[in-house]
């Protein structure tokens, strides 16, 4: 593995998104993997390009197949997760990967 992985961790509302937006603006060469989610896309909402939308059945299958580095069910309704393969591919190619992770609890 040649690249580096930087995690931005914090609870909801802690400013992770603000830090991430600043890094995106200042370092377009960094890789920012999409989150996978079961929620529906929102109409006319910017920022939706950071999500990969799947059904609950597909998400659960991905869990069973070990496709996620981490995942969580949020508010008992929707699933969110970090897919393993895009991150591993970017790291193996020598990229700097930045990932936002919400701390549950």
CATH number at residue 19: 3.40.50.300
Please check whether residue 45 lies inside any domain of the structure.
Answer: no
Q: How far is CA 83 from CA 38, 89, 91, in A?
A: 13, 11, 13
The Cα 27–Cα 7 span in angstroms is 15
Please check whether residue 24 lies inside any domain of the structure.
Answer: yes
Average pLDDT, rounded, for the chain: 90
**Domain coverage including residue 55:** 4-40+50-102
Please check whether residue 25 lies inside any domain of the structure.
Answer: yes
pLDDT at 48: 54
The Cα 75–Cα 42 span in angstroms is 18
Of the chain, the percentage scoring pLDDT greater than 90 comes to 71
Is pLDDT at 96 greater than 70 in this prediction? yes
Of 43-47, 50-54, 82-86, minimum mean pLDDT range: 43-47
Is pLDDT at 19 greater than 80 in this prediction? yes
pLDDT at 1: 64
Please check whether residue 89 lies inside any domain of the structure.
Answer: yes
pLDDT greater at residue 41 or residue 5: 5
Considering its fold, how many domains does the chain have in total?
1
């Amino acid at each position: 593995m040649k690249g580096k992985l930087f995690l931005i961790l914090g609870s909801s509302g802690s400013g992770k998104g603000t830090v991430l937006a600043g890094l995106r603006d200042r370092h377009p060469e960094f890789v920012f993997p999409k989150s996978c989610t079961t929620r529906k896309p929102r109409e006319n909402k910017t920022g939706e390009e950071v999500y990969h939308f799947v059904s609950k059945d597909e998400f659960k299958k991905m869990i069973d197949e070990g496709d996620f580095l981490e995942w969580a069910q949020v508010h008992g309704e929707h699933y969110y997760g970090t897919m393993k393969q895009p991150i591993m591919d970017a790291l193996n190619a020598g990229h700097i990967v930045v990932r936002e992770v919400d701390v549950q609890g």
